[in-house]
Structure 1
Amino acid sequence: MGKSTGFMEYERQTQRERDPSTRTKDWKDYTLPMLDEEIQKQGARCMDCGVPTCHTGMEINGSTTGCPVNHLIPEWNDLVYRGQWKEALKVEHEKNNFPEFTGIACPAPCEGACVLGINEPPVAIRTVERSIIEKGFEEGWVVPEPPKMRTGKKVAVVGSGPAGLASAAQLNKAGHTVTVFERADRVGGLLTYGIPEMKLPYSVVERRITILEQEGIKFITNTEVGKDYPVSRLRDEFDSIILCGGATIPRNVEVEGRDMKGIHYAMDFLHANTKSLLDTEHRDGNYISAKDKDVIVIGGGDTGTDCISTSVRHNCRSLTQFDIYDKKQDDRDDLTNPWPQYPIVHRVEYGQKEAAAVMGRDPRAFAVMTKKFVGDENGRVKEVHTVNVRLKFDEEGNRYREEIPGTEKVWKADLVLLAIGFTGPDQDLIEKMEIETEAKSTIKAKYGEYKTNVEGVFAAGDMRRGQSLIVWAINEGREAARECDRYLMGATDLP
């Protein structure tokens, strides 16, 4: 695959980025396209490794390695290297309905499992993936492909995030009439309102939705099933239902002072910002502004980084991101984190680069735990009190965090954003439909089967598995569509 000596001749190159000090003045895509010749060289780095592991998604020690949708990565790398872009697009779409979403917002566990990555920088798989689909849209190769025949069966998909869209796309290909319900005013779920515009432009989501609509899928927005659209009506009007509502209940910081003004969940901050931006370019003021504020972001993951980049664009006064984990080392530890596990290493993401360019430093504070919030006479937060911690293990091997005496610190803050993940799905619809759940509140439905305890009702994505990756959502959406098709027709040709 690729060029037999490509990995020795060409260095890894990923998507270029606009200058951090200037891109923070707008909300445009922070990346820049690469030349075809550059992408072809990256495809050429895909070595003939004999037994590729990049395309087989699995979980090792609690993290994903390889591609959960089993992308045919060596195949389309080889086609790109040879300049056969249209063929590469066809192969890319065989396993992934939306490579533009994963090409932008997936953490690329495929690259962590790349055989070349054992002793060299891995193939820039995500960069090649995105370049293929972008060229496909530019050249007009991505066109609506409605089914030639309809089965007469009707399916409701609840939720328009990546799992819901993948389910809808696959069921529509099978000839079923699909309706997707979304409680927000725009389609896309987390893709639209959970990922900022400069990272995943809404135009990228919108152009795919347009294709899906032209293929025959109906989208109903501003409609929450169970409230605006009764469950009884849903059951009466559809032959089957797939629940893809996501894991939307945010995890809280349960410390003294949590109820003070100025403390918000990250998704409330990001959702309001994107909606106001798309509606009026922020002219309506209907968002939580970080302008001239001392901002503390609690949480070291991708959502925390998105809060960082958004706050910088609001022109905040100061910015700090708390990460409860120690700063990781720059290189993979071959003993505790061997290949092909996802590499647990120190990374500087786009938001930290922007904060460093504007504020003069990386915004992160590591191994920090929040102890309490302190407010002013009006009940608005003004300080965050913290202590440094270290990871310890008890006699049974259970880990806990020990506070380090003398590391107490007080931070100025008039805006605090909680970005520490999600506990599970909203329970209202689940209870109304009398769906059984697991102990962690996710829907009880076996992986690979996706059937709930209610006849004809399936569940996929974060609503079933808990907070996870976009690529896992697409995987489950596709597979749930396959099982739903089998239920409706007695057999299925869907992959």
Structure 2
Amino acid sequence: MGKVTGFMEYERLEEGYEPVTARVKNYKEFVIALNVDQAKQQGARCMDCGTPFCNNGCPVNNIIPDFNDLVYKGRPEDWKNAIAVLHSTNNFPEFTGRICPAPCEAACTLNVNDDAVGIKSIEHAIIDRAWAEGWVKAQPAKLQTGKKVAIVGGGPAGLAAAQQLARVGHSVTVFEKNDRVGGLLRYGIPDFKMEKSHIDRRVEQMKAEGVEFRTGVLVAALPEGSKVTNWAKETISADELKSQFDAVLLTGGAEQSRDLPVPGRDLAGVHFAMEFLPQQNKVNAGDKLKNQIRADGKHVVVIGGGDTGSDCVGTSNRHGAKSVVQFELMPQPPEVEDRPLTWPYWPIKLRTSSSHEEGCEREFAIATKEFLGEKGKLTGVKTVRLQWQGGKMTEVEGSEQILKADLAFLAMGFVSPVATILDAFGVDKDARGNGKASTEGGNAYKTNVDKVFAAGDMRRGQSLVVWAIREGRQAARAVDEFLMGSTTLPR
């Protein structure tokens, strides 16, 4: 694979970033992708390692050594073959090539004692060149089966399943409650991490393949008092879908945000991250919003140290926040992982995002005790330091502090899908409130309800986009086998 001695001759090349001063002035992508020669050099580093752990490190099992080798060879026909290899396992490499955390690189054999091959940057380079060269084309089915499939949820799991099912000849309709397709790709991930033209381009491809998209359609009413943003204009019942379609696949997101029930939670200025982030994406798309949550000139506290919190940091900086502080309950992890101990698994280590680099104070081992306010508006956050002993969290006596805050965003993850849709279909839930369905055997992705399947965050809970794509593809195979008795779709 690649150049036999390439991993000894070449160092890892990182994708570049536009300067902070320039990129925070807009919501455009700012990553500088590898050019053809740089991608070739990075592909040369792929080792002929015998057992490519990267394949299993990748949730969609991308055939990584093969496309690395093709990029290294470097002829136009090799690049064209590289996108064919990439598309054989991943419907949307332009999504994962931008926003996946790259567990494949953690599993790279070279990562045992050196810097991993830049697999994600190579994937990014392959798909961007494929679009530029016109190699990505619609693949409509040659024959129609006459079977109709409803997919509820237009995020990455639903899109992947829809494309797979349409390509084997089923009539597929995707129902999306929001006004545009994409799920959290559209209304969760900021445009500066992934511009929405990438989704639009895939939607047009899928329409050419026969997929019908119905937006603004809610399959079940939201519970009273729900904080989930809802722009649906029309509702349709579960019974209607079951009567009109031969199979129904539920692929909605895990949209129920984890709350923080401390005193002052009801103060104006305390918001879920998913109240804040979708608004800016809609404004970027040209929509007019009243009372948009803005961080201009404000002291912002982001509670939660993960990707959603980082997205709140980056968006607040683009608004022109006066200060941004991000809280994390856990102690600060090591800057470098213990590779012999953790490889090839995903390591715990300090991860600094591009948003953090744009301006953010990070606080670890800290908890929010209370939101403070005046006249119903947030003015501060009372915190306490934490210590961890024997896996247990205790407060440090005398460590309480008050931090000035005009806005606080709760970005502590998502606990489950909104239960209404599962209840509407009568689908059993697991202990975490997700749709209960196995991934193995003859009942893969089937729920307890006849001809109703579940996949993605709807089934596994909050997870990565790459896991959603994997589950969408596998669920499509299960649905196809259910409808036809056998299937040619990949596992």
The TM-score range, normalised by the shorter chain, is over 0.9
Question: Partner residue of 2:244?
Answer: 237
Out of 266, 270, 292, the position equivalent to 2:277 is 270
Query: How big is each residue's C-alpha offset from its partner over 1:187-207, in whole Å with a ceiling of 9 and x where there is no partner?
Result: 000111110001010011111
Residue 394 of structure 2: SS of its match in structure 1? strand
Question: Partner residue of 1:71?
Answer: 62
Q: Could you tell me how far 1:230 is from its partner in structure 2?
A: 1.5
Question: Partner residue of 1:423?
Answer: 415
The one-letter amino acid of 2:215's match is T
The one-letter amino acid of 2:51's match is V
What is the RMSD computed on CA atoms of the aligned residues? 1.1
Q: Could you tell me how far 1:32 is from its partner in structure 2?
A: 1.5
Question: Partner residue of 2:171?
Answer: 177
Question: Partner residue of 1:212?
Answer: 206
Question: Partner residue of 1:375?
Answer: 373
The one-letter amino acid of 1:232's match is D
TM-score by length of 1: 0.94
Q: Which whole-Å CA distance do the structure 2 matches of 1:23 and 1:286 have between them?
A: 25
Q: Could you tell me how far 1:71 is from its partner in structure 2?
A: 0.3
Query: How big is each residue's C-alpha offset from its partner over 1:387-441, in whole Å with a ceiling of 9 and x where there is no partner?
Result: 1112222xxxxx3211112321111001000000001011111111111111111
Question: Partner residue of 1:451?
Answer: 446
Query: How big is each residue's C-alpha offset from its partner over 1:447-484, in whole Å with a ceiling of 9 and x where there is no partner?
Result: 23000001111000011011111111111110000010
- Where do 1:254-265 residues align within 5 Å? 254-265=261-272
Q: Could you tell me how far 1:113 is from its partner in structure 2?
A: 0.4
Q: Could you tell me how far 1:334 is from its partner in structure 2?
A: 4.3
The one-letter amino acid of 1:13's match is L
Q: Could you tell me how far 1:351 is from its partner in structure 2?
A: 0.4
Q: Stretches of 4+ moved more than 3 A in 1?
A: 283-286
Question: Partner residue of 1:27?
Answer: 27
Residues 418-427 or 321-330, more deviating: 321-330
Question: Partner residue of 2:224?
Answer: none
Q: Which whole-Å CA distance do the structure 1 matches of 2:115 and 2:128 have between them?
A: 24
Query: How big is each residue's C-alpha offset from its partner over 1:271-294, in whole Å with a ceiling of 9 and x where there is no partner?
Result: 1111122124xx645521011111
Is the 1:272–1:286 contact (alpha carbons within 8 Å) kept by the matching residues of 2? no
Q: Which whole-Å CA distance do the structure 2 matches of 1:94 and 1:12 have between them?
A: 26
TM-score by length of 2: 0.94
Query: How big is each residue's C-alpha offset from its partner over 1:102-135, in whole Å with a ceiling of 9 and x where there is no partner?
Result: 1111110000000000000001111101110000
Is the 1:52–1:114 contact (alpha carbons within 8 Å) kept by the matching residues of 2? yes
Query: How big is each residue's C-alpha offset from its partner over 1:155-203, in whole Å with a ceiling of 9 and x where there is no partner?
Result: 0000011110111011111110000000000100011111000101001
Question: Partner residue of 2:228?
Answer: none
Query: How big is each residue's C-alpha offset from its partner over 1:326-371, in whole Å with a ceiling of 9 and x where there is no partner?
Result: 1121211247x4211112111211100111xxxxxx4211111111
Is the 2:453–2:475 contact (alpha carbons within 8 Å) kept by the matching residues of 1? yes
Question: Partner residue of 1:464?
Answer: 459
Is the 2:33–2:121 contact (alpha carbons within 8 Å) kept by the matching residues of 1? no
- Where do 1:20-419 residues align within 5 Å? 20-56=20-56, 66-83=57-74, 84-227=78-221, 228-280=235-287, 284-334=289-339, 337-355=341-359, 362-376=360-374, 378-393=375-390, 399-419=391-411
Residues 7-16 or 311-320, more deviating: 7-16
Structure 2 unaligned segments of length 5 or more: list them: 222-234
Q: Could you tell me how far 1:16 is from its partner in structure 2?
A: 1.1
Question: Partner residue of 1:63?
Answer: none
The one-letter amino acid of 1:492's match is T
Q: Could you tell me how far 1:240 is from its partner in structure 2?
A: 0.2
Is the 2:29–2:195 contact (alpha carbons within 8 Å) kept by the matching residues of 1? yes
Residues 227-236 or 245-254, more deviating: 227-236
Residue 458 of structure 2: SS of its match in structure 1? helix
Residue 329 of structure 1: SS of its match in structure 2? coil
Residue 372 of structure 2: SS of its match in structure 1? strand
The one-letter amino acid of 2:439's match is Y
The one-letter amino acid of 2:365's match is A
